[in-house]
Every structure is written in structure tokens, then in C-alpha cells.
Amino acid sequence: MTKKYISFKITEKEIDSALRYLRYEKGEKNATKEDAVALLEDFNALAHIMAHKLVEDEKSGKIKLISPEKSSKKQKSKLEI
């Protein structure tokens, strides 16, 4: 079962992973597939908001992104890990 949403798809594998996370990491023994889908949707919404905030901060000059060409060798090796 794959559920299609406006901007992303949630696969059964992702649902199963989220369900395991809820049950074993969060201790929600009675978590359902619907709970897992809701968690994934919340994560997607959060990532979307964070991406918009990053663009806003970059445009306003609040932050300056470092391009890979300008980063040091040490930073490059961290990115590759």
C-alpha cells in the first residue's frame, strides 16, 4: 500500500519503519499505521517549513551558505561521511 499525497509518497516500508520507531523508541505499544502516517506527515511538514526558513534567512543575509568549492578539506571530509 502506497499512499500518494500532494508533494510526496509514503511507502509501506516508511510506514513500517515509523511504526517500529513509535513502538520501540517512543514506547507507544498501541501505535497504529495511522499514527505512523501522521508522524511522517508531520516530519514532512517540518522539513518543508525548515527549508522555507533557510531560504528566507539566506536571502535576508542572516546566514551565508558555504558552497562545496569554498569549504575546507576538513569540511568536505565531514560531508562525505
Distance from chain centroid for Cα 78: 20
The 10 Å Cβ neighbour count of residue 19 is: 19
Q: pTM for the whole thing?
A: 0.63
**What is the rounded CA–CA span in Å between residue 66 and residue 77?**
14
Q: What is the pLDDT of residue 72?
A: 58
Question: What whole-number distance in Å separates Cα of residue 43 and Cα of residue 26?
Answer: 15
Q: What is the pLDDT of residues 3-53, one digit of tens each?
A: 544 567 899 999 999 999 999 988 999 999 999 999 999 999 999 899 999
Let me know: does 16 contact 24? Beta carbons within 8 Å: no
pLDDT of residue 63: 85
Res 64: pLDDT? 82
Mean pLDDT confidence for 54-69: 83
